[in-house]
Copies of this chain bind each other. A is one copy, B any other.
């Protein structure tokens, strides 16, 4: 089974499904999203959507209200295509700890979602995810996905590895190969048994090759669509792995086992 470990709700959803079909992806982890860059038709409209993204990645605009539209869109996509999408739910990281736990209980567990993410703590403040890890642990070790590309810092990646070691039952997925800090990300994830590395957004082909070589059982094919493209993301994995067990693991086996759907 080919499983994309990272994608966001598209507008319209059918465009996403068409790309997944072309890429031969069976199922994909789906995160809600506030920006919708795929709506942009030119540079001006894209700039508007990217501003929403920049705010989200800076950790601002994190009110519950800001999340409601994203949750609704996610719900609609999951209801329409339960066979294709694996829903994950996000949570604002600036809430008091007991509220984080309540939101996860209501919006993630209560909606039958399979994990938590994509979390975007402000740069330098990855420690803010600790209440989420605690709640994830209390709810049967839900997997938690954290944004790894800029503005995430190398120190954030180290913080995540320390937190992962503190909650070893909770799978902690670092997205986008850790961005420009990918060499350190590979080492941290390799040395922390509960961490996983999602391989989207790499701008150097041998970063993907070496990540898989170092961590064949905990690297995950992901596209980060609509930012990335499922066809290119899958082709990337296939360019650096020969057909066989490791390729199958990365393209879906590792995540399928993690989610208990294989």
Interface residues of A (CB under 8 A from B): 37-38, 40, 42-43, 46-47, 50, 149-150, 180, 183, 186-187, 201-206, 210, 213-214, 226-229, 231-232, 235-236, 239
With A43-B186, A43-B210 in contact, do A239 and B231 touch (Cβ < 8 Å)?
yes
Q: Is the interface of A mostly helix, strand, loop or mixed?
A: helix
Cα distance A235–B231 when bound, in Å?
9
Bound complex: CA A100 to CA B180 (Å): 33
Assembled-state Cα–Cα distance A38/B206 (Å)? 8
Q: What are 14 A-B interface contacts by the 8 Å CB criterion?
A: A38-B206, A40-B206, A43-B186, A43-B210, A43-B214, A46-B183, A50-B183, A149-B203, A203-B227, A204-B228, A205-B226, A205-B229, A231-B235, A232-B232
Query: Taking the nearest CB of chain B, how far is it from the CB of A34, in angstroms?
Result: 17
Select the residue from A43, A149, A231 with max chain B CB neighbours within 10 A. Answer: A43
Q: Which residue of B lies closest to A180 (CB)?
A: B150
Task: Determine whether the beta carbon of B228 is less than 8 Å from that of A183.
Answer: no
Whether A228 pairs with B210 at a CB distance below 8 angstroms is: no
A46–B213 Cα distance when bound, in Å, is 13
* Docked CA distance A37–B208 (Å): 13
Q: Are A46 and B205 in contact (CB under 8 A)?
A: no
Kindly state the separation between the CA atoms of A87 and B163 in the bound complex, as whole angstroms.
Answer: 50
